[in-house]
């Protein structure tokens, strides 16, 4: 990928995807300030390393991985903590929907992260697979199981609460 194309692409991603990147960074760090720092640091690292982007995958997937790495760093995770499906995330505003917060907290870490990437980061299955470095089929299956689990938990909770 030409260097200029990467630069233009990074600027476009910053303009168009900052908000969702920041959302997920906040779900990882649990702190708004650290989330902003992680996203900005992620773009700074990506810019510095832009010559190393070889275009094997999408630029957006590459940026997502870097930002998630920065969010883990900002959270204080060990430097060798992998950016993978076990990355812990939580709703930033659980008080806005306590039932959903409880339901997603009950998911396994892998299902939870896939759900967050799908619904909170607005990523489609292929992109989630790219970000997490897993097969698309695995993402689809995980997402399907998580949806079923969430639907059951939310239905049950709301029935009990009504």
Partner 1 sequence: VSTSSDRELARRFARQDDAAFAAREGFDAVIGRERATPRRRQGRWLAAGGAGVAVLAAAVAAVAVRERGPHVRATATSRAVAAPATAATGTTDVRIVAADPAAAARVPVTGATPLEEGIVRNALALLGGPSPIPAVQFKDTGTGRDLVVRDVAVGNGADAPRWLALRFVQVVVARLRDARERVGWVTDLESGQPGGPIEGMDAPPPPVETLVQAVRAATHRGVRLHADVYPIGAVVLRARLDEATFLAGDVVAHTLTAALDRFPGVALAGSIETPDGTSLGNFGHAWNVGGGGDGGRVARDAPPLRGRTRLDFTIAHSGLNGTATATRRLRLDCQTPSASSGVADVAGACTALMQRRYDLFSYGLTEHSCAPSGGDAITIRGLLGGLPVRRDDDPCYVGDVIGRIETVLGIPPGS
Residue 126 near partner 1 by CB under 8 A: no
Helices (H), 76-108: 98-105
Backbone angles phi, psi at 123, to 5 degrees: -95, 145
- When the beta carbons of 58 and 90 are compared against partner 1, the nearer one is 90
Residue 60 near partner 1 by CB under 8 A: no
- Can you say how many angstroms the Cα of residue 62 is from the centroid of all Cα atoms in its chain? 12
Residue 137 near partner 1 by CB under 8 A: no
Other C-beta atoms within 10 Å of 94: how many? Answer: 14
Residue 97 near partner 1 by CB under 8 A: yes
Asked if residue 70 lies in contact with residue 42, where contact means CB atoms within 8 angstroms, the answer is yes
Residue 53 near partner 1 by CB under 8 A: yes
In whole angstroms, what is the distance from residue 68 CA to residue 87 CA? Answer: 9
Among 55, 109, 126, 137, binds partner 1 (CB under 8 A): 55
Residue 140 near partner 1 by CB under 8 A: no
In whole angstroms, what is the distance from residue 148 CA to residue 84 CA? Answer: 22
Q: How far is CA 137 from CA 64, 78, 116, in A?
A: 20, 30, 17
Residues 1-40 that bind partner 1 (CB under 8 A): 10-11, 14-15, 18-20, 22-23, 26, 29-32, 34-36, 39-40
Among 6, 59, 74, 123, binds partner 1 (CB under 8 A): 74
Residues 77-96 that bind partner 1 (CB under 8 A): 77-80, 82-83, 90-96
Residue 109 near partner 1 by CB under 8 A: no
């Amino acid at each position: 990928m030409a260097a200029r194309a990467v630069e233009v692409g990074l600027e476009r991603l910053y303009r168009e995807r900052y908000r969702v990147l920041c959302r997920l960074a906040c779900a990882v760090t649990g702190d708004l300030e650290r989330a902003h720092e992680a996203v900005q640091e992620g773009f700074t690292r990506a810019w510095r390393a832009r010559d190393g982007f070889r275009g094997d995958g999408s630029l957006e997937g590459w940026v997502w991985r870097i930002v998630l790495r920065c969010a883990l760093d900002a959270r204080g995770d060990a430097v060798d903590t992998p950016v993978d499906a076990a990355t812990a995330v939580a709703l930033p505003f659980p008080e806005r929907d306590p039932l959903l917060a409880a339901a997603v907290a009950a998911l396994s870490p892998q299902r939870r992260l896939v759900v967050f990437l799908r619904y909170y980061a607005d990523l489609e299955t292929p992109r989630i697979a790219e970000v997490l470095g897993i097969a698309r089929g695995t993402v689809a299956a995980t997402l399907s199981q998580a949806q079923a689990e969430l639907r059951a938990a939310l239905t049950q909770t709301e029935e009990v609460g009504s």
